[in-house]
Structure 1
Amino acid sequence: MTDTPEDRLLDAALVHVPFDGWSEETFRAAIRDTGIAPAVARGLFPRGAVDLAIAYHRRGDDAMAARIAETDLGAMRFRDRVAFAVRARIEATGDREVVRRGTTLFALPMHAADGAKLIWGTADRIWTALGDTSQDLNWYSKRATLSGVYSSTVLYWLGDDSIDNDATWAFLDRRIDDVMRIEGAKAQMRKNPLTRGLMAGPEWLASRIRAPRRDAGVPGGRPRG
């Protein structure tokens, strides 16, 4: 990991988060512990601990993407690749109490939009790492569905006291199986002569919807143009 001022501040903050949360007290303690000038620290993280919490989440996304890249997923079923990616993301979080404090922070109304954007960004990183090339409504539906799977699994994991988090991974498998059943039902409707016509209109409309450009303020997206 690079030894940048951002990394040093974040690493210093992580020592204090379990006790003081992602708070101004934690931010000031990180400044004090690193010896970085307050003006420089505030320039790097204008909102203080909130921006540190965002940086921590994105660090976990980076670690997950690196693990996916170095793992041979070729022999796995696709649903198992998704499960592997979600598990890799959760295992990259480190301290459970740090994540718990972040969940509390992003549950606050003033930070809820940041939290939703981070979860969506994680789902986008997973789909991108797994080679998703969808550019229509599927781009949105895949990320929305996986955001729900990921966030619910994290909440389950926060209360899991099973050995090696086995209960969490079983919960994750059930959530993915639920999604696969829905996708399977949709596929059957497309094949069935009685319901195929019902799908034609919605699918035509879905084909007209495009993924956002990367400069549209939404994590992920397609290149400009």
Structure 2
Amino acid sequence: MSDIPDPKAAMIDAALMHVPFDGWSEASFRAAAADAGLSLPEARALFPRGAVDMALAFHARGDAAMVAALGATDLSALRYSDRVAHAIRTRLELVEPDKEAVRRGLTLFALPIHAADGAKALWQTADAIWTALGDTSQDLNWYTKRATLSGVYSATVLYWLGDQSMDHAATWSFLERRIDDVMRFERAKRAARENRLLKPLMAGPEWLASRVKAPSAMSTSGLPGRWRR
């Protein structure tokens, strides 16, 4: 393994030749190890749970590529909603050559035993997008932004996987409609906050929301957020 500069990347690259046929399975894992020149114990050291951890590493690699691409692009002229749409489109276009691997990953993480891993990977993608776009929220908005984006992203991925239109034009139209729906909801929330009749009703929920802090405000507790007295 010491002769391979990046054995994890080598394993993932090798697996992408087998996953379209065998899925993210033990067969793909073993074949990838052999193609990458690794013994099974060496491969297990890299991916203890085998194909599941390899699929997660493939997903994380897509996130990292997206973040790098966004960092090299000037998005200052775009509205914030357009920046989000651009980020999601970039994420999907980067893995378009391995679309079948994404489809197989969706099937894997739809299984109850791996659903938590899939949800975590989805949340990490949403977090990567917001962080790359410069989100500085430290309150409940940190959670709601990522939860909302997770819904938009997952729906777009499902549409993208079945899209046969030229250059996935139908997917990008679908994405724009979903973001427009979110923006309409945000405008409705803003109007409710500014409505003099509704303000008294919103006072309690607003106070409660102000007590919640983002994970970045944590020290070492390991919890997903914190409550401020």
Q: Same fold (TM over 0.5)?
A: yes
**How is 1:40-59 mapped onto 2 (pairs within 5 angstroms)?**
40-59=42-61
Q: Which residue of 2 aligns with 1:76?
A: 78
Q: Which residue of 1 aligns with 2:171?
A: 168
C-alpha distance in structure 2 between counterparts of 1:121 and 1:129, whole Å = 12
Q: Which residue of 1 aligns with 2:37?
A: 35
Q: CA deviation at 1:214?
A: 7.6
* Runs of 5+ unmatched residues, structure 2: none
Q: Which residue of 2 aligns with 1:157?
A: 160
**How is 1:98-117 mapped onto 2 (pairs within 5 angstroms)?**
98-117=101-120
C-alpha distance in structure 2 between counterparts of 1:217 and 1:117, whole Å = 14
CA gap of 1:214–1:101, structure 2 versus 1, over 3 A, is farther
Q: Which residue of 1 aligns with 2:8?
A: 6
C-alpha distance in structure 2 between counterparts of 1:217 and 1:63, whole Å = 28
C-alpha distance in structure 2 between counterparts of 1:214 and 1:130, whole Å = 24
C-alpha distance in structure 2 between counterparts of 1:166 and 1:13, whole Å = 29
Q: Which residue of 2 aligns with 1:183?
A: 186
Q: What is the root-mean-square deviation of aligned Cα atoms in Å?
A: 1.6
CA gap of 1:129–1:106, structure 2 versus 1, over 3 A, is same
Q: Which residue of 2 aligns with 1:86?
A: 88
Q: Mean alpha-carbon deviation: is it higher for 120-129 or for 89-98? A: 89-98
CA gap of 1:217–1:198, structure 2 versus 1, over 3 A, is closer
Q: Provide Cα deviations, 1:143-190, integer angstroms capped at 9, x if missing partner.
A: 000000000000000000000100000000001000000100111111
TM-score (norm 2): 0.92
Q: 2:25 aligns with which of 19, 23, 26?
A: 23
C-alpha distance in structure 1 between counterparts of 2:95 and 2:210, whole Å = 36
Q: Which residue of 2 aligns with 1:141?
A: 144
Q: CA deviation at 1:192?
A: 1.5
* Runs of 5+ unmatched residues, structure 1: none
Q: CA deviation at 1:82?
A: 0.5
C-alpha distance in structure 2 between counterparts of 1:3 and 1:174, whole Å = 44
Q: CA deviation at 1:35?
A: 1.4
Q: 1:123 aligns with which of 115, 126, 131?
A: 126
Structure 1 segments of 4+ aligned residues over 2 angstroms from their partners:
212-218
Q: How many residues align structurally?
A: 219
> In percent, how many aligned pairs have the same letter?
66
Alignment pair present for 1:209 and 2:190: no
